[in-house]
Amino acid sequence: MSDISSLIIFKDRHLLVANKPPLMPVQEDKTGDPSLYRLLCAYTKHNLYPCTRIDRPVSGLVIFGKNPEDQTLFQAIQDDQKLYKEYLAIVPLCSSKEPVKLEHRLIHDAKLHKAFVSDKPEAKLASLIYEVVLNLERYSVLKITTSTGRFHQIRCQLAAVGLHIKGDVKYGARRANKDRSIGLHAWKIEFPHPVTGVKIQLEAPLPSLDIWPQINIPSSTKSS
């Protein structure tokens, strides 16, 4: 990628927030492909410390600390549930007119790198709320908020109710996107700055691939 600076949404002495492109890993994986972490470290010329992560085929906001202390302070914000996140997901047409709450118990299968709905004792509660913000000819766009942070939570929970995210064949979508991305975008975040306490509100532009350019979210939905 030629212009890493175009990915940076926010930076100060303590934090850097970037808009990760789909298909780029946040950190190195077994493919050896360039990661967001390495590219940003090279651009800023110092080490960064991941505070949040999103899956490789997902796009959107990822937060890094500038030093280990900032990473620890941000973890406390997450532990206190003071980090608010909104996602956008492209799913088959959905008829719901009101927000819907989903609660499942999920288990993470590390060998398959996948989450499953389960009634096993070790399964952990996952909760989210979705609402339809836009209907296209064949798809609906959902706005999603989560109150838990389980592995592949959104992908697994939506699939469990038949709302398979576009391109997400791992969780039951009929076909993959040509570029292997999936229709899930970490869109907005809000949190108190870990040092100053000032409220930070950020939004990531939508990807320019697949059907994202067709999506224009109504202004009434753009406030948290």
Give pLDDT tens digits for 27-41.
988 777 889 999 999
Determine what percent of the chain is predicted with pLDDT higher than 70: 96
Tokens encoding 146: 């989560």
Lowest mean pLDDT among 30-34, 56-60, 116-120, 194-198: 30-34
Q: Given this model, what pLDDT does residue 221 score?
A: 60
Stated pTM of the model: 0.93
Average pLDDT over residues 176-180: 92
User: Of all residues in the chain, what percent carry a pLDDT higher than 90?
Assistant: 86
pLDDT at 56: 94
Cβ atoms 204, 19 nearer than 8 A: yes
Inter-residue contact 120 to 107 (CB < 8 Å): yes
Joined together, the tokens standing for residue 195 give 């040092």
CATH class of 4-213: alpha beta
Where does the pLDDT of residue 224 fall: very low under 50, low under 70, confident under 90, or very high at 90 and above?
very low
SS3 assignment, position 218? coil
